[in-house]
Amino acid sequence: MESRLLVILFLASAFLTMAVREVNYALFAMFVTAVVVYSQRILGADASESGGDRLAETVLGVAIAFVVLGHPDLTDGTA
């Protein structure tokens, strides 16, 4: 029963990810995170471990973006 619910949640999140992609980036990011966590959970990973990994990856990505946007030699100056 749990695996069936996870598959339904995974598919709903995947659909909603594509549905909101052009409309709202925050919702897009939330649904991408849900897809990643549900897919890892379906494959047998612990949900809290999957969520923690995704959070760490997101924070790392934000830090890289701030470094790149804050360094004038790495951008063309229009950022």
Between 64 and 18, where is the model more confident? 18
pLDDT tens-digit readout, 25-59: 878 888 888 888 888 888 887 767 777 777 788 88
Q: Where are the domains of the chain?
A: 2-74
For residues 20 and 28, the answer to whether their CB atoms sit within 8 Å is yes
pLDDT at 76: 64
Q: In this predicted structure, what is the pLDDT of residue 19?
A: 93
For the chain, give the number of residues: 79
Q: For residue 12, count CB atoms less than 10 angstroms from its CB and return exposed for 0-12, middle for 13-18, buried for 19 or more.
A: middle
Please, which pLDDT band fits residue 1 given cuts at 50, 70 and 90? low
